[in-house]
Amino acid sequence: MRYYIADCHFYHKALLEHMDRRGFDSVETMNEYMIEQWNKKVRKNDEVVILGDLSWGNLAQTQQILDQLQGHLFMIRGNHDYFLDDKQFDRSQFGWIETYKELKDNKRKVVLCHYPIACYNGQYRKSEDGQAKTYMLHGHIHNTQDQPILDAYQDYVHRQWHDAIGGGKEHIPCQIINCFCMYSDYQPMTLDEWIEIDKKRRQSTKINDTI
């Protein structure tokens, strides 16, 4: 099984009261909870793609976290993953470390980057039954004001038309999913699970906007 998650920010104390307002009493409590949630979901032979900003800690602190996380880990570098620059860091702990990656996931394509990409490779591809065949998975924006802006952009793109490959007109696909750890209660999720989480989040946001 392959899972995805973004922006865990282990050891990032500022996120307890600012920006995310995670509400834990300490980074130690936060770290313990995130490790527990991770290992409830991920088994030894599962794959986990980390979409950046895994840890705010130094090399020793981050290594302590990595030693406790189950699964085969793969890393999309985020802007706060400073531990990767330490010359003592053992990169072999990850299957790969990239800033951008494209993979196949159950006959679908996933475009992976820490930052959301508006016009991503394969965006227009659809299956014969009209389902999207490519998804852009990212992190970085957490649950900030950038999230509703990105949602509004996708809604706008979905309303636009283009010439379909087989003839006629069709709406433009746009499947950009923020795999922010707090959206999944700090658990890595499969592509299908993230699709459902994103759908429910957007529906909830629209309902709240009408209240």
pTM of the model: 0.95
pLDDT tens per residue, range 15-49: 999 999 999 999 999 999 999 999 999 999 999 99
Dihedral of CA atoms 93, 99, 104, 105 in degrees, nearest 10, equals 70
| Cα separation, 144 vs 151, whole angstroms | 12
211 falls in which pLDDT band (50, 70, 90)? very low
pLDDT at 205: 76
Whether 132 and 122 have beta carbons less than 8 Å apart is answered as no
pLDDT at 6: 98
The partner residues of 180 in beta bridges, in order of sequence, read 6
Q: What is the 3-state secondary structure (H, E, C) of 181-201?
A: HHHHCCCCECHHHHHHHHHHH
The pair of structure tokens assigned to 90 is 């053992």
